[in-house]
Amino acid sequence: MDFVINVNGCKCTFETTVIFGKRALEDVKEVLKKEKLISEADNQSCITLYLPDENTSTPGYYYYILKLIAWEGINITEILSTTNEFSIIMDEKMIDKAFSVLKAKKGL
């Protein structure tokens, strides 16, 4: 994953995020040429955490993870979440620092 684009114009939501590798950039822009480009971010990386079953019934679970990253001054570009996975997208320059912060906390 190298690139994140936010576009406006889909009928089901106000914004849609498209995440893809650099090789697909021109193809994606061609497909989305009628959409309004809101933002784009190059050189992005992702950390995915596999969540325990009890995460959906534990208040503050995501807050705890995001707080750790924020306290280190790491900016998050995008967050993706399913019931069992939580992905944090950020500038690739910050990925090592973010990984170190999360790895230092046992139990994540």
Residues 50 and 90 in one domain: yes
Structural domains of the chain, count:
2
Which helix (H) or strand (E) is 67 found in, with range? helix 61-71
- Give the integer Cα–Cα distance in Å for 90 and 35: 24
Indicate if the pLDDT at residue 46 is higher than 80.
yes
In the DSSP assignment, the letter for residue 18 is E
Q: What is the mean pLDDT of residues 4-20?
A: 65
| Residues of the chain by 3-state class (helix, strand, coil), percent to 5 | 35, 30, 30
- State the maximum Cα–Cα separation within the chain, in Å, rounded to a whole number: 46
Q: Has this prediction a pTM greater than 0.85?
A: no
Residues 58 and 37 in one domain: no
Residues 52 and 92 in one domain: yes
State the CATH number of the domain containing residue 68: 3.30.2130.10
Q: How far is CA 90 from CA 43, 50, 77, in A?
A: 9, 18, 5
Residues 54 and 94 in one domain: yes
Q: What would the pLDDT profile of 50-83 be if each residue is shown by its tens digit?
A: 988 888 888 988 999 999 999 999 999 999 988 8
Domain containing 29 equals 3-41
